[in-house]
Amino acid sequence: MAAQAASADDRLRVLLEAAGVRYSSARKKVAGRLMAEHRPMSAEDVHRSEPSVPASSVYRALAVLARTGAARRLIGADGVARFELAEAVSGEHHHYLVCTGCGAMDVLLLPAAVENELARAARVVQQSGQFVVDSQRVELTGRCAACATQQPPPASGCP
């Protein structure tokens, strides 16, 4: 089956098997939750939305998924680790909105023209020979709608 035609679940299974890791029911449930939410989630978020998986199993599953490259570990402005399925598993490329008030992270989809410019910039950097680009991502920091109504704007930064 072609990689593009394979489901995220199939791509995850292949990735874990290649790393010599079993695709346990807990890992499947945790990965399923990450697939369903389409946003970076903390271990606590995953456990709250998947209470049938013990918290310790959620932490272990996330660690294994990150170690094998099946998930990406991101640190929010609040210092909390959040996880999402890796692009190779989800098939989705996106960027992030990071709230400096509550630390929440949300997905940001950029227009194709912007994505093309980012890819071009990455190629230019790579061609300079000074850096090997593995991937690129954009994080816009600011305040989510809830925090923006509760907190005054920062003293400095973007207007």
Query: pLDDT per residue over 124-135, tens digit each?
Result: 999 999 999 888
Measured distance CA(108)–CA(44) in Å, rounded: 22
Q: Is residue 21 classed exposed, middle or buried when 0-12, 13-18 and 19+ CB atoms within 10 A define those classes?
A: middle
- How far is residue 71's CA from residue 91's CA, in Å, rounded to a whole number? 12
Q: What is the mean pLDDT of residues 33-62?
A: 95
Task: Map tokens 């790579």 to a residue.
Answer: 126
With tokens 């990965």, the residue in question is 31
Superfamily of domain 93-159: Ferric-uptake regulator, C-terminal dimerisarion domain (3.30.1490.190)
What fold is seen in the domain 1-92? Arc Repressor Mutant, subunit A (1.10.10)
pLDDT of 135 = 84
Residue 137's pLDDT is 86
In this prediction, residue 2 carries a pLDDT of: 43
Between residues 158 and 123, the one the model is more confident about: 123
- Lowest model confidence (mean pLDDT) among 1-10, 17-26, 132-141: 1-10
Domain-by-domain residue ranges, the chain? 1-92, 93-159
Which tens digits make up the pLDDT trace of 92-104? Answer: 888 999 998 888 8
What's the confidence (pLDDT) of residue 155? 58
Give the pLDDT mean for 22-34.
95
